[in-house]
Amino acid sequence: MMTSLPLESPSFRAPALIRNPHVQTLLPRVLRPLALKWRGEWLNLPDGDEVELCWVAPEPRDNTAPILVLFHGLEGSIASPYAAAILGTACRMGQRALIMHFRGCGSRPNRRPRAYHSGDTGDALVLLTELRRRYPQAPIRLCGVSLGGNMLLRLLAEPDSQHLDITSALVISPPLDLAASSERLSRGFSRIYERHLLKSLKRKVMPRLARGELPLDVSVEQVARLRRLRDYDDIITAPLHGFADAEDYYARASSGPVLDRITTPTWLIHAEDDPFMPPDLLQRFPERAEQLKVEVSRHGGHVGFMQGRGWRCSSWLTERTAHFLAG
């Protein structure tokens, strides 16, 4: 059943001195938390590729202990600041915590001539099916951040996810409208983020193009000249993953249009001042499933949500994750 639900404001309140959206977005990267201790595992995929899993230590001995799986954002990893906030919280609560790196985001390049994108749910389904096989009695909760949040919402809207018996999901700062987010990143100060992300993407794809590993009619020189994420998606992401162009990719991979199909209890957290997205993002998708709870704060930036003062700032996401995991 779908309904147009009112937006609920969370308990997060940004202190005045760090209320600016860019300060909120960048502060977690300046005040980096302690690194997590983890063990790695390479999960083989049906098409011959692989993704890297990182299991946070210490791991519970009880095979029925709850599991939290984190799906990171664009070019994210176990080293992303939010990983420590989210996975570290689960570990301290005695739960099994792991992150699935998207293809090519682990400690070595992926094998197949492809990468990952915002609507690519297949690898997550493989992982979750394997987790359900290994831990048949364990509650499984999922968390998706930014791109990983968009992917997770699309996954939860698919019929194939229903047999996995997912307990609940937490989604943080998802770009529900990929075209609008791409446009927002190309304007003003947000171009700083676009340049950073584009640099990381180009650094990975250019050597693969030079070695002839990718089935693309694109030269290294063309990629080097790219200045917008949309252009990258147009000549790399889209053709590499079966889309006609960037517009087709954005339309088919955005999660906003499928929010009414979600049947798993899901908690979506968003900041109105997110510099990666237009201010009216959530208003564009008023029809949402009753199982989807949407919380919006006035401030918080993109996956920021920092509270406290000065160097004593801390991530509010730690508190929200604990509340989420407590059920």
Query: pLDDT above 70 covers what percent of the chain?
Result: 96
Query: What residues have CB less than 8 Å from 148, skipping those under 6 apart?
Result: 70, 71, 72, 73, 76, 102
> If you ran DSSP here, which 8-state letter would residue 237 be given?
I
Report angle CA 93, 316, 3 to the nearest 5 degrees.
Answer: 95
| pLDDT tens digit sequence for 15-61 | 989 999 999 999 999 887 778 999 999 999 999 999 999 999 999 99
Residue 313 above 90 pLDDT?
no
Query: What's the alpha-carbon Rg for the chain, to the nearest Å?
Result: 19
Two structure tokens written together for 46 = 């049906």
Residue 8 above 80 pLDDT?
no
| pLDDT tens digit sequence for 115-166 | 999 999 999 999 999 999 999 999 999 999 999 999 999 999 999 888 899 9
What pLDDT is stored for residue 161 in this prediction?
86
What pLDDT is stored for residue 165 in this prediction?
93
Instruction: Give the separation between CA 230 and CA 146, rounded to whole angstroms.
Output: 17
> If you ran DSSP here, which 8-state letter would residue 292 be given?
E
Query: pLDDT above 90 covers what percent of the chain?
Result: 89
Comparing CA positions, the residue from 90, 143, 110, 140 lying closest to residue 43 is 110
What pLDDT is stored for residue 1 in this prediction?
42
Alpha-carbon distances of 136 from 45, 67, 70, 131, 139, rounded to whole Å: 20, 11, 19, 8, 9
- Residue 85 buriedness (CB in 10 A; 0-12 / 13-18 / 19+): buried
Which backbone phi and psi does 180 adopt, to 5 degrees?
A: -65, -40
Taking phi first (over 0 means left), then psi (-120 to 50 degrees means alpha), and beta for anything else, what does residue 184 get? alpha
Q: Which single residue is written with the structure tokens 């996975």?
A: 87
Mean pLDDT to the nearest integer, 105-124: 97
Residue 4 above 50 pLDDT?
no
What pLDDT is stored for residue 9 in this prediction?
66
| pLDDT tens digit sequence for 255-310 | 999 999 999 999 999 999 999 999 999 999 999 999 999 999 999 999 999 998 75
Instruction: Give the separation between CA 261 and CA 154, rounded to whole angstroms.
Output: 9
- Are 108 and 49 spatial neighbours (Cβ–Cβ below 8 Å)? no
Q: pLDDT class for 78, splitting at 50, 70, 90?
A: very high
Task: Give catalytic residue positions.
Answer: 146, 274, 302
Q: Is 297 helix (H, G, I), strand (E, B) or coil?
A: strand
